């Protein structure tokens, strides 16, 4: 096993890409070997040092070029380009950490298919704390029956494009599975006007968008005479970046397959 793991970062000029580069200094065994930005990025052709880490890696918009020397690739791009990135990694036989959210069902199926050829860690949130929240959500939803109503609240910055967040939907999937129901059939995403009484066993979602909120998530169980809240608040993006880098390290020499952050963290 090599002492260093060659790494490529896709979406390097975005918020998460910059956080990844800045966090790499704490992961000396991960060595940047490729960096991808969009075709209209002002960072194209520049050294990645401009975004946070000293290296001889030139930022490119060509995914084949970006991954050609990588053993593990971290993708924080957009759902519409994820499949092209996955195909490039399959051709390179490089493992992937996919932190991009908002994929369609068809895109997720294609990613699952690719995991038969390469190892992929895909999670709605890479944060260690959030993944612990997922585990606590499972425990709570298993212990509390539908006398306890479930509500999921999330808040993000004004520029986030998908809603509810992938993390909020992930929490919803966890609690629905723990109760043995379908999230699709039990989720309430909108409330307006005369909605009538709350339906027993349903899972409500609330979304806020504004300012530069990095990410807040709260899971509420409201029962007779009491309520339980499990919350996670991100102070900055370093927690997500560090989790993705931990996943990249964990993927070294892993067999092909689809993995989650729960697998990475042994939860």
Calpha distance 155→13 (Å, rounded)? 23
Nearest Cα neighbor of 180 from 203, 214, 199, 157 is 203
Question: What burial letters (b/e) apply to 47-64, b meaning 16+ CB within 10 Å?
Answer: ebeebbbeeebebbeebe
Calpha distance 251→79 (Å, rounded)? 22
Calpha distance 255→72 (Å, rounded)? 13
Half-sphere exposure of 194 (CA within 13 A, CB side): 0
Calpha distance 67→84 (Å, rounded)? 12
156 is catalytic: yes
Calpha distance 24→18 (Å, rounded)? 10
184 is catalytic: no
Output the six-digit token pair for 72: 């593990």
CB 230 within 8 A of CB 133: yes
Task: Kindly name the residue from 18, 156, 186, 232 that is annotated as catalytic.
Answer: 156
Task: Kindly name the residue from 46, 68, 160, 202 that is annotated as catalytic.
Answer: 160
Catalytic residue numbers, as ranges: 156, 160
């Amino acid at each position: 096993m090599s002492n260093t793991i060659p790494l490529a970062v896709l979406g390097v000029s975005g918020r998460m890409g910059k956080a990844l580069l800045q966090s790499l200094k704490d992961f000396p065994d991960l060595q940047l070997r490729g960096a991808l930005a969009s075709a209209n990025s002002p960072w194209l052709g520049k050294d990645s040092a401009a975004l946070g880490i000293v290296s001889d890696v030139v930022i490119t918009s060509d995914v084949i070029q970006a991954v050609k020397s990588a053993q593990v690739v971290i993708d924080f791009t957009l759902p519409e380009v994820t499949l092209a990135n996955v195909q490039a990694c399959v051709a390179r036989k490089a493992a992937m950490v996919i932190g991009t959210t908002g994929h369609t069902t068809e895109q997720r199926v294609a990613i699952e298919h690719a995991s038969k050829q390469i190892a992929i860690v895909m999670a709605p949130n890479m944060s260690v704390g959030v993944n612990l929240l997922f585990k606590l959500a499972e425990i709570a939803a298993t212990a509390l029956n539908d006398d306890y109503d479930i509500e999921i609240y999330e808040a993000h910055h004004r520029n986030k494009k998908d809603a509810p967040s992938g993390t909020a939907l992930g929490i919803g999937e966890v609690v629905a599975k723990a109760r043995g129901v379908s999230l699709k059939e039990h989720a309430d995403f909108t409330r307006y006007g005369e909605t009538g009484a709350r339906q027993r066993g349903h899972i409500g979602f609330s979304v806020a968008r504004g300012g530069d909120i990095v990410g807040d998530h709260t899971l509420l169980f409201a029962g007779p005479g009491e309520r339980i809240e499990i919350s996670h608040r991100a102070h900055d993006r370093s927690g997500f970046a560090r989790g993705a880098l931990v996943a990249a390290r964990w993927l070294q020499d892993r067999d092909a397959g689809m993995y989650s952050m729960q697998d990475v963290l042994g939860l």
